[in-house]
A and B are shown apart, each in its own frame.
Chain A
Amino acid sequence: MKKIITVLLSLAVMCSVFAGGATEQVDMTGSVAMVLSGLKTDQAFNQYTYEGMLRAASEKGIKTAYKENVTDAEQVEVIRQLAQQGYEIIIGQGGQFGDSLATVAKEYPDTHFIFSVGKDTYGLPNMSAATVSYSEAGYLGGIMAAHSTKTGKVAMITGVFYANQAQMRDSFEKALHDVNPSIEFTAIETNDWSDTDKAYNAANALIAQGYDVLFPCLDAAGAGVAAATDDSKNKAVLVGSVADYAETYDCKSAMGSVTFNWEGLGYLEATGELTDGKSHVVGMAGNGISAIYNNLSSEGVAAVEKAKSDLSAGKINIPD
């Protein structure tokens, strides 16, 4: 055993000797770092915003870094570490990063911080916030759902009603009732953004209660809702949000989807276009969200197009 320990210790010493001179001076001008709450391969906003940053890096030739799966306990430490390394823009991807970004932003006034998927800048001049317009997405989804229901019962399914999802729910409900005030609406939480089984069971429970249009706002768990409506034998259809359900989940019962352009948001954040210390909500005008049509009736498509122009013209009052 002593021999093995000696060999392994020697290897460890060699490792440290070899690695000694690895540091080098790097130009940090325009450099961007992104901290992600999940994996950069999650097929949701972590992945797409990260890909947006990569596109910015290849187009603008800027240095980038990322740290995925950042836990609550290590947020401040990781963000501070990136600030110490001299990254000029640091993006916190997710609502849980707000407090930690603000803590480090106070310590590094010359570094710019972006609270992504949030709207609070904490009153700091070097902190900006950016998100896509959940309100506009909810409204367009509501118009699609109102033109898809036969039973007059529509349901929204989400992981947890954070501030953004609550805003989406309210504008979705407003759109439903703008089209038909008698539509019955419910909204439920599954408490999990990626558990497809939970989402599948929740969707089936709603279908059993007569809800014939489901509006999921989920990450990977959206596949569960898509499977439930596809399996319902035409009892229910789906109006997607965040992702294009027909394409991403091969959902045959999708009437349409309101997609979020996370990649575009990540690109804008990384190119430094949002570092003005303000809160940015990127909606249709900024290409933050788009409406995709699958099985929606021509009447429904026309209604959504009208809603889009009314929203752009400011004729529809929804909070953003």
Chain B
Amino acid sequence: MRTKQKIIKVPFIGDLIYSSGHTILGILLGIFTGGLLIAISGVNPFLAYASMFRGAFNSLQSFSNVLVRSSPLLLGGIGVAIGIKSGVWNTGIEGYMYIGAIGATIVAIPELGLPPIIHILLCFIVAMLFAGLWGAIPGYLRAYKGVNEVTATIMLSYVAIYFTNWIVSGSPLAQEGAYFPMSLPFAESSLLSILMKGTSLHPGPFIGLLMCIIFHIILKYTPFGFRTRMLGYNPFAAQYAGINSKKQIVMTMVIGAMLGGLGGAIEVLGLKHRLYMEFVTGVGYESVAVALVAGGEPIGVMLSALFFSILKVGGATMSIETGVSSSMASIIIALCVLFVIGVGVADSKRLKKRDEKDPGKKTLSFKMEEAVK
């Protein structure tokens, strides 16, 4: 039985073959290598992984932590995944989260006298608007000026981070006399409700899961989705077919940014109830890895984001209980991503070589045709 395979172009690396088999193998290799590193650090890897497992699944509370941590990864992951589908690398999720959170903060702080649901929706809309406008900048630069979107989005993320630093330390929204740069507290009506007592579980993860399903349907069954996929698979064919590729690129970048902004807004409205300096701490970049491991598929993003969250939440328990370095969970995540990419790239190179040796077989081109279908 053959698993469904497709080709993804990774910037600076090239083609990688993606399938569920490749992903599982990559992840298992990552976990295995992580186990070796844990052993080298002097801790029994079996005990460490058991502790990680307990940390994520020991109780409903533990699993609620997994869900909470998956919220920004789900939204950021789809944001990047849509980009992958259209052939652009929307790597600015980190910045969109900050800008979205700033937008939400502006309307979350004042008591507007609105019912909570309206106030929260207003925060979401403003967050998406802010982030969407921010995302339009690299989108425009990529589509109309040919500026590399990876460079533009990463540079803009730094601008967003420093802008947030100013907002929480020098602007009228900043809390005076604070022991850490933070905004004023949000109005009660803007806060996301806690769904389970004694946990931080807010509706964010469920919004993220819902978005994954919605975008799966959009990408698969709507004209917008068809245009996006076609642009990603073959930009020249898309242009010849009359698709306005520039407009499509800007649209996918803006939608990805809006999803990232929503993720940022949910983080501040659901968790800390204020805007803090450096509150994202790399989750935006992890979203890129989430989308990559998911092969750019929104349904895959659901699994991949949950997997990353399990490692993160379980990793904290592993660190507390066994004394393994706190960086180990991040190292294991990085190893999994590297192996998923490595296995795919190695397989792609192997097939290319086979194609060159035996042009009659054309295995790789067959896979590419299959991917387009």
Q: For A23, what are the chain B residues with a Cβ–Cβ distance below 8 Å?
A: 54
Cα separation A16 to B54 with both chains bound (whole Å): 10
Cα separation A20 to B217 with both chains bound (whole Å): 41
Q: For A82, what are the chain B residues with a Cβ–Cβ distance below 8 Å?
A: 320
Contact across chains for B50 and A1 when beta carbons are under 8 A apart? no
Contact-residue bracket for chain B: 35 or more
Which B252-300 residues have C-beta < 8 A from chain A?
A: 267, 271-274, 276, 278-283
> Nearest A residue to B165 by beta-carbon distance?
A191
Given contacts A15-B35, A22-B50, A163-B179, contact A96 B276 (CB under 8 A): yes
Given contacts A15-B50, A160-B169, contact A95 B28 (CB under 8 A): no
Cα separation A39 to B327 with both chains bound (whole Å): 10
Q: Which of B181, B316, B319 has the most CB of A within 10 A?
A: B316
Contact across chains for A73 and B271 when beta carbons are under 8 A apart? yes
Contact across chains for B178 and A163 when beta carbons are under 8 A apart? yes
Which A55-91 residues have C-beta < 8 A from chain B?
A: 65-74, 76-78, 80-82, 84-85
Contact across chains for B51 and A99 when beta carbons are under 8 A apart? no
Q: For B280, what are the chain A residues with a Cβ–Cβ distance below 8 Å?
A: 72-73
Cα separation A4 to B272 with both chains bound (whole Å): 44
Is the C-beta of A9 less than 8 angstroms from some C-beta in chain B? yes
Contact across chains for B49 and A67 when beta carbons are under 8 A apart? no
Cα separation A84 to B281 with both chains bound (whole Å): 25
Contact across chains for B180 and A96 when beta carbons are under 8 A apart? yes
Q: Within the complex, what minimum Cβ distance (angstroms) separates B362 from chain A?
A: 21
Cα separation A265 to B343 with both chains bound (whole Å): 50
Is the C-beta of A164 less than 8 angstroms from some C-beta in chain B? yes
Contact across chains for B198 and A107 when beta carbons are under 8 A apart? yes
B208-248 interface code vs A (CB 8 A; 1 in, 0 out): 00000000000000000000000000000000000000000
Contact across chains for A73 and B49 when beta carbons are under 8 A apart? no
Which B161-199 residues have C-beta < 8 A from chain A?
A: 162, 165, 169, 177-182, 198-199
Contact across chains for B50 and A72 when beta carbons are under 8 A apart? no
Which A217-268 residues have C-beta < 8 A from chain B?
A: none
Contact across chains for A19 and B179 when beta carbons are under 8 A apart? no
Q: For B61, what are the chain A residues with a Cβ–Cβ distance below 8 Å?
A: 80, 84
Partner of B316 from the list A9, A74, A120, A161 (CB cut-off 8 Å) is A74
Contact across chains for B25 and A4 when beta carbons are under 8 A apart? yes
Given contacts A8-B25, A73-B69, A99-B272, contact A15 B326 (CB under 8 A): no
A141-162 interface code vs B (CB 8 A; 1 in, 0 out): 0000000000000000000111
Is the C-beta of A5 less than 8 angstroms from some C-beta in chain B? yes
> Nearest B residue to A95 by beta-carbon distance?
B179
Contact across chains for B178 and A95 when beta carbons are under 8 A apart? yes
Q: Within the complex, what minimum Cβ distance (angstroms) separates B191 from chain A?
A: 12
A83-109 interface code vs B (CB 8 A; 1 in, 0 out): 011000000001110111000000100
**Beyond A23-B54, A95-B179, 13 additional pairs, beta carbon < 8 A:** A5-B28, A15-B35, A19-B47, A66-B320, A71-B282, A77-B68, A80-B198, A80-B199, A80-B200, A98-B180, A99-B273, A99-B274, A160-B181
Using a CB–CB cutoff of 8 Å, the interface residues on chain B facing chain A are 21, 24-25, 28-29, 31-32, 35, 45-47, 49-51, 53-55, 61, 65, 68-69, 72, 162, 165, 169, 177-182, 198-200, 267, 271-274, 276, 278-283, 312-313, 316-317, 319-321, 325-327
Which 6 pairs, one residue from A and one from B, show the smallest C-beta to C-beta distance?
Answer: A19-B50, A95-B179, A8-B28, A95-B180, A96-B180, A18-B46
